[in-house]
Structure 1
Amino acid sequence: MRDTAVDVIVVEGERHTTVLLSGEMDRMTAPAVRYRLFALACTTDRPLVLDLAGVTFFDAEGLRVVSAAARRCDEAGVGLATVGVRPFAAKMFHILRLHERIPLCSCLEEALWCLLPPTDAELAAWLDG
């Protein structure tokens, strides 16, 4: 029997939280990942960066988890961006137009730029932390 766990490592940065995911995101592993991401979205006031470089497989349920997490982050006023999305998953993000509301970034620095508050006042408040 194959291992059905997705490892979730949360790294708290000074102004953001990075969530490192590794394993296969499928209907077996999605509920646990969804629970963890929803909990983070509801308990943090900092942007989330999902590092998906370690995710070796996405099925539809895995994509739904990322989409639902982005929606939950929007509701909580927390930004979310991704890094390390593999080509097949990136293609699925584009086909489903998820990339229009979930930034697919090539590196952490790009993700942080995507997550900056949109107005000067919000940026100043974010920097004052």
Structure 2
Amino acid sequence: MRIGELSERTRVSRRSLRYYEDQGLVVSTRSPSGQRHYAEDQVERVRLIQSFFAAGLSSRTIVEMLPCMTTRPTMRAAQDSMAVMCSERERLSTMLDAILAARAALDRLIDENSTYQARLAGESSAR
């Protein structure tokens, strides 16, 4: 598929796809006229990359994990990727814990505010 179709299917801009390719995150072949052509498996790869970006991973970190995103990495590449993946998983777990704590605090504030508003509404209707 050409870059426009990959862009439509993944909802990622053509500019971002070219950046991903420059960083070694996705691969394409070139037609004789120089047009990029992407294999079908690049759709899922772009979606995975997008989820990693959304989670705060850098393109450099994703590149370090790429050997395990391919079919047959060397043992050394698999070990290096595993170290990066474990480190990122720990970082994400810490972030998730903090986000869940913040959400719980917001839930408490929302409940308190709702209770306060209900009390005020009751007081004003009693007048």
TM range (shorter): under 0.3
Query: Which structure has the highest strand share of the two?
Result: 1
- Give me the TM-score of the superposition, normalised by structure 2: 0.24
Query: Which structure has the highest helix share of the two?
Result: 2
Q: Which structure has the bigger radius of gyration?
A: 2
- Give me the TM-score of the superposition, normalised by structure 1: 0.24
With a CA cutoff of 8 Å and minimum separation of 6, indicate the structure with the bigger relative contact order: 1
